[in-house]
Amino acid sequence: MPALFELPLLVTADDIDPLGHVNNIQYVKWMQTAALAHSAAQGWPHDEYVRLGAGWVVRSHTIEYLQPAYEGDEVVVVTWVADMKKVTSLRRYHIERRRPRDDGRGLAVSLLARAATDWAFVDYTSKLPRRIAPEVSRCFEIVPHDTPPQP
């Protein structure tokens, strides 16, 4: 069960806004995609939440943009679960650009954005918050850091 999940992406022309860099809304889409992919990798794809009759809805997103991303950039969304309470969970993200170093020794990593999503666990029928099911919570390792630990 990986505590950190990485979603590699390639910035395409469709991601770019009129200013020539990645549109802000694209970062939210990347965050959502990474969260869903991490959940699926932990054994909780969308269909399993439907079977359970409950799942996650977003309460809030926060994003701190640090550097722009451009078409052709290789971007990685790193995400992890920072806490899990009775009915909410905080998920953090680092969105990074990774490029080969000029000297050919490894990758140069630039932090493009730091972000977080506060999720609430809700019953799909009543639409009301419900206690996070133990079978869900035990599938996610909590990494209570603002910055992902280094391997």
Structural domains for the chain? 5-137 (3.10.129.10)
Q: What pLDDT was estimated at residue 148?
A: 76
Q: What pLDDT was estimated at residue 104?
A: 79
Please tell me the chain's helix, strand, coil percentages from 3-state DSSP, rounded to the nearest 5.
20, 40, 35
Phi first, then psi, for residue 134 (nearest 5°) are -60, -35
Q: What pLDDT was estimated at residue 61?
A: 98
Percentage with pLDDT > 90 across the chain: 85
* Spatial separation of the C-alpha atoms in residues 121 and 135, rounded to whole Å: 13
Q: Which amino acid is at 57?
A: V
Q: What pLDDT was estimated at residue 149?
A: 64
Tokens of 121: 């666990």
Q: What pLDDT was estimated at residue 146?
A: 82
Q: What pLDDT was estimated at residue 42?
A: 97
* Spatial separation of the C-alpha atoms in residues 146 and 63, rounded to whole Å: 13
DSSP 8-state symbol, 12: -
Q: What pLDDT was estimated at residue 39?
A: 98
The ranges of the chain with pLDDT < 70 are 1, 149-151
* Spatial separation of the C-alpha atoms in residues 113 and 23, rounded to whole Å: 13
* Residue ranges in the chain assigned as alpha helix (H): 24-41, 46-52, 134-137
